[in-house]
Amino acid sequence: MVIHNNPEEFEESVDAGAVPEGAYKLPETSALLFAALREHFLFSQLAESDLRACVERMVRHDYAAGEEIIRQGDRGSEFYVLEQGAAMILVDGSEVGEYGPSSSFGELALMYNCERAATVKATSACTAWTMQLQAFRRLLATTASGQVMRRCDFLRRVELLAPLTNEQVTKLADALESVTFEEGQYIIRQGEQGDTFYLIEEGAVQCTQWRSATDTTEAPLLTLSPGDYFGEMALMLEEPRAANCIAKDRPVRCLMLDRAKFFALLGPLQTVLQNNMRLRILKSVPLLAKLTDPELSSVADTLCVQSFEDGDYVIRQGEEGTRFYIINEGEVRCTRTAPGTGEDHELMRLGKGEFFGERALLKNEPRGANVIATGYVDCLVLEREDFNGLLGPLEKILEREISEREKQAEEVLGLKPLTSKRREPVALEDLKRIGMLGTGTFGRVQLVQHRGTGEVFALKSMMKAQIAKSHQQRNILNEKNILMACEHPLILDLVCTYNTRDELLMLTELLLGGELWSYIYERAKFKLIPHTNLGGFQPATARFYGGSVVLCLQYLHKMNVAYRDLKPENLLVAQDGYLKMIDFGFAKRIPFKKGATMQTKSFTLCGTPDYLAPELVLSRGHDKSVDYWALGCFIYELLLGRTPFTDPRQAEIFKKAIRSDRFLAFPIGFDPQAEDLIRKLLTPSPTFRLGNLNGGVKDIMDHPWFSSNGFAFDNLYNKKMATPYTPAVSSPLDTRHFAASADNVPVTPYTGPQKLFDGF
């Protein structure tokens, strides 16, 4: 089952004024509601101020005895807390329980407009208080985004952290912990080894220092106020504290971050600052301006250091150049030797942070000038051969950019259909329908064959009426755009798209092996891919399929795309036995620009319950790290034949995921390396989840469950690895691996504005 909110209702940037107010409550009513919310899993991790804000927005409803409060099967958008009275719970007409004062029910309605699982009927006069879905999610989105913005603003005031990027600052903001100190309590002591940095949120801090090495009487230095910070050098240096910092007058609330967490998230501060400087310089080089951030990071990692003494020639006029230089320290002078006279004329001087020789990355040509060290000079050097080994010839990259711009212009002007850069367009009328491969929420997938060439494809047809009704046109357009941009051996190849009066259609490569889900769960297929007595695949098989997903996520995350719907139903086995990731309906670029600001998190709920990360369930805002949580669930499923938090009751799945420290369990005999990997992927805090740390997805690839078993990701990417199973396919029209589905799915006519689907 897939769940999603209408993205139009839950904009990622939320105006606090849009949150509706509730009704007046007596103090005892507010206390009852506060206590009830605090005990509920959806609210249990909220700060006290956020809980009180929820209570304030709850609305009163009164019910007579015998009146239905909610009805089974109805779509609900309200969560209830009973203040007075009693009510019975009915499922399919049979009583299964009862509610009394302080009881709560209907929590799934705070996540999405779902059907009620039961009827709740008042057995006496009842008073209930409700929280509405839109009010709840807007409130939490406003609170979460506001908190991150405030913390980012705090961090940007710290001079030492000023060179950090917005993404790095946001990571640190998410990692800050709140801590309170009582009046007179020492926060740091002079002479002690320091490893923690503090930002003052509330209260005042008195800084003092010993009068001398022999006189430890404390002399006041200064008083710090909210917004001030102290101890920041502890993030970089292991040195004794230079002063005392003491909570003054009343309790002081601080945000804190220690060196170990900083290191885990970003690496050593000095290295981070150095790398950021390199990236800024590389971005300023016109020839490199079109490289993506991940490509620039790869280039920055390849730079090596070369030193020159006063008077040394860094490059000589007329010599063939193969190196590009960035001045890391010192100064150089650039001269040109006049032909005939041999006289040198100084052209300019370059200092720290400036660069020269960049055309050597593009082509073989003689240097146009001399560059000579003036005093000691340190340069960062990039060889053309190293650049080409990383990204290919720069000339090809520039051609790619020109080609992309020409293609975009043609598409905007309507000069040609929207087509993958890897294939020629295929006319819709040239396709012959052969059979049905499956049906979905918005339409169907058919096997089609080109009338002229005989080539076979899959044609995904989505009804505009259904898309518009569920407000998913933005997601469908995202899917098309992201798939068009993808070129990866393990991601579905999109050939072209069509936009008709009633439908949107995607023509893709045909994958005949069926869903990976069927090989995990259908007993008839157990003999095709052997299962262990634990219920899942052999470890080597799980590594193959898990590693395939890791490669897909690595590629997508480099494009700043969060997939957001990882599950075995969205992984098809191709004819060659390799996996292909399909269905990008929930994929989204994060961060993304909204208005004039860059948003680092999305607040739209989407995905499949068994794979939803806690931050998705709790409406805290999410980024690409939700995919690493889903990966942990997926690897668990591959090895055990079930998801880690499975439960027939959807609310229980969410409760177990949020409290994974209590509910994540492994059977006796389970591989300890696999358990360690899964636990690190299922870290409740996205900030410290494996894959989201300084090493990125490489931390997952280097984990012993993969690395100590000789798993070669390069071989998997290049399809040089033996597959666990190659599906038996007798012809390009063989659909035996797909469940039979109805051929005559009627197309609902669409009568709304076609403008909704512009750009598809």
Rounded Cα distance between 26 and 657, Å, is 35
H-state helical runs in 176-266: 259-266
Q: Is 349 helix (H, G, I), strand (E, B) or coil?
A: strand
DSSP structural state of residue 609:
G
Rounded Cα distance between 172 and 232, Å, is 13
- The mean pLDDT value for 549-566 works out to 95
Element (H, E) at 320: none
- The mean pLDDT value for 281-295 works out to 79
CA-based torsion, 71, 76, 79, 83: positive or negative? negative
Q: What is the pLDDT of residue 415?
A: 36
Answer whether residue 128 shows pLDDT above 80.
yes
Buried/exposed 6-21: b ≥16 CB within 10 Å, e otherwise: ebeebbbebeeeebee
Rounded Cα distance between 356 and 352, Å, is 12
Q: List all residues 6 or more positions away from 523 whose beta carbon is below 8 Å from its beta carbon.
A: none
Q: What is the pLDDT of residue 5?
A: 65
Q: Do the first three CATH levels of 3-140 and 269-396 match, i.e. the same topology?
A: yes
DSSP structural state of residue 212:
S
In terms of Cα–Cα distance, which of 613, 619, 610, 603 is closest to 42? 619
Per the DSSP assignment, residues forming a β-bridge with 253 are 180, 202
Point out the annotated binding site for ATP. 437-445, 460
Q: List all residues 6 or more positions away from 652 whose beta carbon is below 8 Å from its beta carbon.
A: none
State pLDDT tens for residues 340-381: 777 888 899 999 888 888 888 877 888 889 999 999 999 999
Quickly count helices (H) and strands (E) in the chain. 21, 35
CA-based torsion, 386, 387, 392, 393: positive or negative? negative
User: How many other CB atoms are there within 10 angstroms of residue 522's CB atom?
Assistant: 13
In terms of Cα–Cα distance, which of 223, 330, 355 is closest to 280? 355
- The mean pLDDT value for 724-743 works out to 82
Q: What is the pLDDT of residue 404?
A: 53
Q: Is 412 helix (H, G, I), strand (E, B) or coil?
A: helix
Rounded Cα distance between 98 and 83, Å, is 14
As a whole-number percent, the residues of the chain with pLDDT over 70 amount to 92
In terms of Cα–Cα distance, which of 153, 245, 149 is closest to 197? 245
Q: Which amino acid is at 57?
A: R
Report DSSP letters for 369-417, one per residue.
SEEEEEEEEEEEEEEHHHHHHHH--HHHHHHHHHHHHHHHHHHHTTSS-
Q: What residue spans define the domains of the chain?
A: 3-140, 157-266, 269-396, 417-512+739-760, 523-717
Residue 411's pLDDT band, with cuts at 50, 70 and 90, is: very low
DSSP structural state of residue 287:
G
Residue 701's pLDDT band, with cuts at 50, 70 and 90, is: very high
Q: List all residues 6 or more positions away from 758 whose beta carbon is below 8 Å from its beta carbon.
A: none
3-140, what's its fold?
Answer: Jelly Rolls (2.60.120)
Quickly tell me which residue has 């100064």 as its tokens. Answer: 331
- The mean pLDDT value for 73-101 works out to 94
DSSP structural state of residue 393:
-
Residue, of 320 and 411, whose pLDDT is higher: 320
Arch. (CATH architecture) of 157-266: Sandwich (2.60)
Most confident of the ranges 41-45, 308-312, 476-480: 308-312
Q: What is the pLDDT of residue 401?
A: 56
Separation in Å, CA 311 to CA 246, 307, 308, 329, 376: 55, 12, 8, 15, 9
- The mean pLDDT value for 580-585 works out to 94
Q: Which two tokens stand for residue 488?
A: 């990866």
Q: What is the pLDDT of residue 17?
A: 44
Rounded Cα distance between 537 and 652, Å, is 26
Rounded Cα distance between 640 and 542, Å, is 10
Rounded Cα distance between 730 and 722, Å, is 21
Beta strands in 472-596 (DSSP E): 494-499, 503-508, 561-562, 571-573, 579-581, 588-589, 592-594
Rounded Cα distance between 406 and 427, Å, is 22
Report DSSP letters for 24-67, one per residue.
---HHHHHHHHHHHHHSTTTTTS-HHHHHHHHHT-EEEEE-TT-
82-96, 220-234, 737-751: segment of lowest average pLDDT: 737-751
Q: What is the pLDDT of residue 87?
A: 96
Report DSSP letters for 450-487, one per residue.
ETTT--EEEEEEEEHHHHHHTT-HHHHHHHHHHHHH--
Q: What is the pLDDT of residue 78?
A: 92
Per the DSSP assignment, residues forming a β-bridge with 318 are none
- The mean pLDDT value for 691-699 works out to 93
Arch. (CATH architecture) of 523-717: Orthogonal Bundle (1.10)
| C-alpha radius of gyration, the chain, whole number | 30
Rounded Cα distance between 740 and 402, Å, is 46
State pLDDT tens for residues 170-202: 999 999 999 999 999 999 999 899 899 999 999
Q: Which amino acid is at 665?
A: A
pTM: predicted TM-score of the whole model, two decimal places: 0.81
Task: State CA 734 to chain mean position distance.
Answer: 37
Residues 121, 99: contact at Cβ < 8 Å?
A: no
Supply the residues annotated as catalytic.
565
CATH of 269-396, one of 3.10.180.10, 3.30.365.10, 3.30.70.250, 2.60.120.10: 2.60.120.10
- Give burial (CB, 10 Å; 0-12/13-18/19+) of 405: exposed
Angle CA 739–740–745, to nearest 5: 125
Q: What is the pLDDT of residue 600?
A: 85
DSSP structural state of residue 419:
B
Point out the annotated binding site. 437-445, 460
- The mean pLDDT value for 251-269 works out to 90
Residue 553's pLDDT band, with cuts at 50, 70 and 90, is: very high
Angle CA 709–710–716, to nearest 5: 115
Rounded Cα distance between 624 and 561, Å, is 7
Q: What is the pLDDT of residue 250?
A: 81
Q: What is the pLDDT of residue 47?
A: 82
Separation in Å, CA 50 to CA 13, 140, 693: 18, 8, 28
Rounded Cα distance between 671 and 127, Å, is 52
How high does pLDDT run on average in the chain?
A: 88
Residues 577, 520: contact at Cβ < 8 Å?
A: no
Supply the CATH classification number for the domain 417-512+739-760. 3.30.200.20
Q: What is the pLDDT of residue 7?
A: 52
As a whole-number percent, the residues of the chain with pLDDT over 90 amount to 56
- The mean pLDDT value for 311-337 works out to 91
User: How many other CB atoms are there within 10 angstroms of residue 682's CB atom?
Assistant: 25
Residue 15's pLDDT band, with cuts at 50, 70 and 90, is: very low
H-state helical runs in 650-697: 650-658, 660-663, 672-681
Rounded Cα distance between 447 and 431, Å, is 10
State pLDDT tens for residues 29-80: 999 999 999 999 888 888 888 899 999 999 999 999 999 999 999 988 899 9
Q: What is the pLDDT of residue 1?
A: 67
Report DSSP letters for 234-252, one per residue.
GGT---B-SSEEEEEEEEE
Residues 121, 109: contact at Cβ < 8 Å?
A: no
Residues 265, 687: contact at Cβ < 8 Å?
A: yes
Per the DSSP assignment, residues forming a β-bridge with 504 are 462, 499
In terms of Cα–Cα distance, which of 703, 674, 709 is closest to 691? 703
State pLDDT tens for residues 567-579: 999 999 999 999 9
Buried/exposed 550-562: b ≥16 CB within 10 Å, e otherwise: bbbbbbbbbebbb
Residues in the chain: 760
In terms of Cα–Cα distance, which of 376, 385, 248 is closest to 321? 385
Task: State CA 638 to chain mean position distance.
Answer: 22
106-120, 335-349, 414-428, 601-615: segment of lowest average pLDDT: 414-428
Residues 520, 638: contact at Cβ < 8 Å?
A: yes
Q: Which two tokens stand for residue 212?
A: 């001398």
Per the rule left: phi > 0, alpha: psi between -120 and 50, beta: everything else, 714 is alpha
